[in-house]
Amino acid sequence: MALRSINPATGELLESFAEQSPKEAAAAVEKAHQAFTSWSALGLERRSALLRKAAAVLRGEKTALARMMSEEMGKPVLQAIAEVEKCALVCEYYAKNGAAMLQPERIASDAADSYVRFDPLGVILAVMPWNFPFWQVFRFAAPALLAGNTCLLKHASGVSRCAARIEEIFRRASFPENVFTALRIGPAQVEALLAQPLVRAVTLTGSDAAGRAVAAAAGRYLKKTVLELGGSDPFVVLADAPLSPCVAAAVSSRMINNGQSCIAAKRFIVVRGIYSRFRREFTAAVAGLRTGNPLDESNDLGPLARGDLVEELERQVKESVRRGAAVLTGGKRLKGAGYYFQPTVLEGVQPGMPAYDEELFGPVAALIRAADEKDALRIANDTAFGLGASIWTADRARAEALAARIEAGSVFINGMVKSDPRLPFGGVKMSGFGRELSSYGIKEFVNIKTVVIS
């Protein structure tokens, strides 16, 4: 089966890639394992230097890489440039700090000496999505490679061009052959790879359905697993919130990447006293956004990545309206070529509606009125997901007390949720388990080995 790269702004085919056979994929595993022996012995200083070279390649070609990303999955080009820069940043972060994170830790015991060391596991399989096609690969690869692992990438089929360029970036940065390999395979081959003893662990970023499938397969073969799945992040606005920056952040947080972000704010939970003002200003700001060609820097939003994503979003909006939600602005797909959907605000969203119960993966915001702070917390936690959350209030102590009770992997106070190489990133509940980034992320794919000297 061919892997097809389609321009979502036009619906036109960009390129087709022949899928590798199971035999070819298995051979790639063997080559990655062979490369692991020398790569893990290369030393942290040398691996750090190569990560710095990868960062330099990224920065030197950020405009061309961003344009390719926009053409292949529809990201507004200025956001694509920022994504490439962030990939360079995570490489530089681990090049600078990774060695210290992996230093042995001495622990007092009744032995003459005892310590913990952090040794690489071997070949790690990464199953990655299309929505941040560079960042989500590099935020896994930078710490995994620095720790001494070798990496196999099974990228989303629709961003096969991005996958090939990422492999090329590592090659141009002088990484040894087969240390990082982009596979050209479909989802059906993932379990066969996990069954191979030489694949020691898997990480997946994607939907909860994909997470269940990979976790089930990994469980059968007892493979270490990290899952970063979907989200339906609450954006909680209390009565004393600073409204102007709050509204600006709300628009950015919901509409970033054309609304296709797991950590985008999706449910805007606003207490009664400030609801009318927030509703008015937020709706006006969303209505003023420009949608069009993602390569045109004057546009705020581009297309959704695939036609089926538009159809699913349209279904969710229509069903929510049928059940009583009201459209304040937008609400429809745009006619003509490409996979465009209007930036949309829904009001009166209640349990039982797709806009309340499901993840909306597109430029649609759900407005929910809360009676008070206690009610806002109840609504925030009334979801199967638990990735990120945002709280807006002028009272820091109040916000921190609320943050302690929100069921999420990250809580941002008076700011939009984002990933940062310095901070651990991941979720709870149906948003997955394990952590990426920071010292916590680099230690997900190492053997935490105890050494005791009597």
- The catalytic position among 228, 347, 359, 444 is 228
Amino acid identity, position 128: M
Q: Among this protein's residues, is 71 annotated catalytic?
A: no
Asked whether the beta carbons of 264 and 233 are under 8 A apart, the reply is yes
How far is Cα 136 from Cα 69, in angstroms, rounded to an integer? 13
How far is Cα 367 from Cα 328, in angstroms, rounded to an integer? 10
How far is Cα 13 from Cα 397, in angstroms, rounded to an integer? 53
Pure H helices in 177-298: 190-194, 208-220, 243-255, 272-287
How far is Cα 104 from Cα 446, in angstroms, rounded to an integer? 12
How far is Cα 365 from Cα 101, in angstroms, rounded to an integer? 39
| Tokens read off for 411 | 């809580």
> For residue 246, what are the contacts with CB-CB under 8 A and spacing of at least 6?
237, 278, 392, 414
- The catalytic position among 71, 262, 347, 444 is 262
How far is Cα 191 from Cα 200, in angstroms, rounded to an integer? 13
Inter-CA distances, 241 with 45, 226, 366, 378, 383, Å: 47, 35, 19, 19, 23
- List the 446-453 sheet strands across, edge first: 105-106, 113-120, 446-453
Q: Under DSSP, is residue 128 helix (H, G, I), strand (E, B) or coil?
A: coil
| Tokens read off for 206 | 């994607």
> For residue 22, what are the contacts with CB-CB under 8 A and spacing of at least 6?
189, 192
Asked whether the beta carbons of 247 and 407 are under 8 A apart, the reply is no
> For residue 375, what are the contacts with CB-CB under 8 A and spacing of at least 6?
271
Asked whether the beta carbons of 48 and 100 are under 8 A apart, the reply is no
| Tokens read off for 147 | 């720790």
Inter-CA distances, 300 with 252, 303, 364, Å: 10, 11, 14
Q: Among this protein's residues, is 87 annotated catalytic?
A: no
Inter-CA distances, 371 with 187, 239, 251, 270, 319, Å: 45, 11, 23, 9, 25
Residues marked active site are found at: 228, 262
